[in-house]
Amino acid sequence: MYVILFYDIAGSEQKEKNNANRIRKAVEKYLPRVQFSVFEGEIRQSDFKRLTATLQKECDKELDSIVIYTFNSLKYSERLVIGQDKNGSLFS
């Protein structure tokens, strides 16, 4: 499965639990970073379940936002990059 994941994590000044590093490290275990808080790439279903379970545990649902798009096929997709492509050639 192909995944695009992005998050907006509130800073430590807004909450007691500073979970930004734990969330970033959890995502980086499975997906390459494209932008500061944007990740995309192929992931096995079992790894996706592990990742989402970790994110459910670490996310402060009152202040944080994690959005995940999943694709079974990239057949009808197109990726346009203006400027540097920090994720290389994903579609070649």
CA dihedral (85, 82, 24, 13) positive or negative? positive
Q: Is 64 annotated as a binding residue?
A: no
What's the CA gap between 23 and 55, in Å, rounded? 7
Contact 63, 12 (CB under 8 A): no
HSE at residue 1, side-chain half, CA atoms within 13 A, is 16
Q: Which residues are annotated as a binding site for Mg(2+)?
A: 8
Annotated binding-site members:
8
